[in-house]
Structure formats: structure tokens, C-alpha cells
């Protein structure tokens, strides 16, 4: 019989490694990060990394023999008075505990770290000269440049091709023929940064979850073109970077989940009879 040279650490070891790279103190005040489920002394051989802790990713962690999940979005953000299995989140908490799987969250603290969530997105897109939009200030917005300029419409196809596949793909706003080389970007919902990005003079801004009124007003004011990808697709690249970091810091196996946790499950482009001249 062969014995496996078992990589091993503990829940506390993973927590310490995460805290060293993504200190909880860097999280926004409203955010809820850190260890959610688990015993710091429990052994960890394998960690599943996911954008969201939802029933599907918890099931994946259990099926694949993970002892711990490290996820981006908080499972419990607002006040909770029950984790009974009759509640959606309570069922997830029970499934984690009864399966011996710990849960750790790194959210806005991972967004503002360097490298952080948006750096992984920029790397996935092959951007050059990536730097924070506001040097010296801890924030999630990065700027970088494409190796050569592309029309906005071609950029949409490029981004859709480079990012993990989702049902919704990539939308753009602005003149489709506009040349884009300098890009600002932020993983996840980024419309609170529209004004800062407009002031920076980039050609386009890539983020997720853009809304009608803020986007319309931004473009009407002459702001950079907008590239709206799916929330999950903009944050999924970080899981690969995080996997490398955890394997560098610890004796641990990592699995980056490819379960798409976006809410959108299908997309049908409208039939446009005649494009406007």
C-alpha cells in the first residue's frame, strides 16, 4: 500500500494565508468577510474556490472532497435570525457543517488588494501596463492598454472570447466603431466608478451590472465607451490567481469552480430587420 504524501494544513492555516494577502481590515465597512463556517483546528487538504457559495458550489465542494471553500461573495451579509434548513442560506450552512466543509469569504478586501480581483481580470484580457486608476489609494479600479487599438465592437468579441463563457456574453455602449486602446476595468458591479473613470480619459470601461440611467448619463456626458460583461465572468479569473497563491503559501490542493453562478440562464439576441444607416 502506498501512503499519500498528504498535503495538509488547517482551516486556521488557510485563514492566516488569506489574511496575509487580503487583510479583512481592507474590506468596506458594510462588508462581511472572514471565516463563516468552520473550526480553525480542522485539517484541510483540498480547497474549492468559487465566486459564490450557493447550493451548487457547496455540492461541488462535497462531491470533490474539499475540506474548505474560499469564496468571493458573502453568504451572510445582512442580519440572520435562523439558519434552519428551511431557509435557502440555512440549508447551505447545514450542508457545509454536516459535510465538514469550512467556508471563508474575501470580498471587497480582495477587490482592493494588489494583485486582486481586477488584476486577474486584466491579466486574462492580456492588458499591458496595468496600474491602479488612483495610485496610492487602495481601490479596485485598474487601467491598462490593449496591445493595439480595436474598434469597440471588435473589443466586445475579444472580451467575450477571453472571459469565461456565460449565457449573457458581453454588451457594449457607445459608438461601435470607436477605437479603444486604453481601458479602465473593475470586476463585479462597477457603476459607482463611472465618474472617476470618465475623468481619467480612458477609451472604454469594462465592468458588470451596468444600469440604464447611470450608463445613459455617463455616455451623454461624453464618457468612455462601456463594456458590460457578466458579474461572474469578471470575477472568475481571480480564482485561478488565488489557487496559485494558496498553493504557493500552503501545502494544499486547490479546485477553482467553473459552475457559472450568474443568475441569467439564456440569452436571445433580438432580430433587428435593418440596422440604422
* Nearer to Zn ion among residue 164 and residue 188 (C-beta): 188
Chain residue whose CB lies nearest Zn ion: 188
Q: Mask: binding to Zn ion, 164-183, rule CB under 5 A, as x and -?
A: --------------------
Cβ atoms 42, 61 nearer than 8 A: no
* Nearer to Zn ion among residue 31 and residue 60 (C-beta): 31
Told to check if 190 binds Zn ion by CB under 5 A, we report no
* Nearer to Zn ion among residue 52 and residue 245 (C-beta): 52
> In the block, which residue shows the cell 451572510?
76
Rounded CA separation 233/37 (Å): 26
Candidates 59-67, 97-105, 186-194, 216-224 — which segment interacts with Zn ion by CB under 5 A?
A: 186-194
Which residues lie closer than 8 Å to 20 by C-beta, 6 or more apart?
Answer: 249
> Binding Zn ion by CB under 5 A: which of 38, 174, 188, 224?
188
Q: How far is the CB of 112 from Zn ion (least distance, A)?
A: 13
Q: Mask: binding to Zn ion, 219-258, rule CB under 5 A, as x and -?
A: ----------------------------------------
Please report, in angstroms and rounded to a whole number, the separation of the first and last CA atoms in the chain. 73
Instruction: Give the burial string for 185-210 (b: 16+ CB within 10 Å, else e).
Output: bbbbebbebbebbbebebbbbbbbeb
List the beta bridge partners of residue 179: 151
Write out the residues near Zn ion by the rule CB under 5 A. 188
Amino acid at each position: 500500500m502506498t501512503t499519500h504524501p498528504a498535503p495538509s494544513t488547517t482551516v486556521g492555516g488557510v485563514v492566516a494565508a488569506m489574511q496575509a494577502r487580503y487583510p479583512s481590515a481592507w474590506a468596506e465597512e458594510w462588508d462581511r468577510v472572514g471565516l463563516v463556517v468552520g473550526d480553525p483546528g480542522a485539517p484541510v487538504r483540498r480547497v474549492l474556490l468559487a465566486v459564490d457559495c450557493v447550493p451548487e458550489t457547496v455540492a461541488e465542494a462535497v462531491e470533490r472532497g474539499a475540506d474548505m471553500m474560499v469564496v468571493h461573495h458573502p453568504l451572510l451579509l445582512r442580519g440572520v435570525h435562523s439558519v434552519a434548513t428551511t431557509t435557502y442560506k440555512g440549508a447551505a450552512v447545514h450542508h457545509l457543517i454536516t459535510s465538514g466543509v469550512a467556508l471563508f469569504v474575501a470580498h471587497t478586501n480582495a477587490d482592493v488588494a494588489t494583485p486582486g480581483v481586477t488584476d486577474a481580470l486584466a491579466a486574462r484580457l492580456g492588458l499591458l501596463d496595468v496600474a491602479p486608476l488612483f495610485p496610492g489609494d487602495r481601490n479596485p479600479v485598474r487601467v491598462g492598454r490593449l496591445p493595439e487599438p480595436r474598434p469597440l465592437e471588435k473589443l466586445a468579441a475579444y472580451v467575450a472570447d477571453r472571459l469565461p463563457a456565460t449565457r449573457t456574453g458581453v454588451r457594449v455602449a457607445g459608438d461601435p466603431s470607436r477605437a479603444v486602446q486604453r481601458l479602465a476595468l473593475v470586476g463585479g458591479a462597477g457603476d459607482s466608478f463611472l465618474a472617476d473613470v470618465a475623468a481619467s480619459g480612458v477609451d472604454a470601461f469594462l465592468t458588470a451590472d451596468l444600469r440604464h440611467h447611470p450608463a445613459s448619463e455617463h455616455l451623454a456626458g461624453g464618457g468612455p465607451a462601456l463594456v458590460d460583461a457578466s458579474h461572474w465572468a469578471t470575477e472568475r479569473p481571480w480564482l485561478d490567481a488565488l489557487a496559485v497563491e494558496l498553493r504557493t503559501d500552503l501545502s494544499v490542493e486547490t479546485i477553482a469552480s467553473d459552475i457559472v453562478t450568474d443568475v441569467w440562464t439564456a440569452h436571445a439576441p433580438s432580430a433587428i430587420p435593418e440596422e440604422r444607416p
